[in-house]
Amino acid sequence: MSILMKNIGGYRRAHYIIQDDADKMVAEGTATKHPGYDIYEEQDAEYAVKVMAPKRGTRKKADDQEATESEA
């Protein structure tokens, strides 16, 4: 038995899959095989990504005052 990684509701879930079905999905181009493992992953899966970049305009005046006090 092989494992198929699916994206369900923004989370990655592992499901068992028969080897013949996994090979068929790779041949169709809907899945990729992880090298060295019996794990396959769906190609069309979209993962939820959290943006970690700071938002513009979120600095507070207190932050500016601390910066000028530490320079003096």
Report the alpha-carbon distance of residue 53 to residue 63 in Å, rounded.
Answer: 18
Residue 41, pLDDT score: 87
Give the confidence band of 66 by pLDDT, cuts at 50, 70, 90: low
pTM, to two decimals: 0.54
Confirm if 64 and 26 have CB atoms less than 8 A apart.
no
Is residue 29 included in any domain, yes or no? yes
Is residue 63 included in any domain, yes or no? no
Is residue 14 included in any domain, yes or no? yes
Q: What is the pLDDT of residues 52-65, one digit of tens each?
A: 666 776 656 666 66
Q: What is the pLDDT of residues 6-20, one digit of tens each?
A: 877 767 889 999 999
Is the pLDDT at 50 greater than 80? The verdict is no
Is residue 69 included in any domain, yes or no? no
Give me the domain span that covers residue 36.
2-53
Residue 68, pLDDT score: 61
Is residue 15 included in any domain, yes or no? yes
For residue 20, report the phi and psi dihedrals to the nearest 5 degrees.
-65, -40
Count of the separate structural domains present in the chain: 1
Is residue 49 included in any domain, yes or no? yes
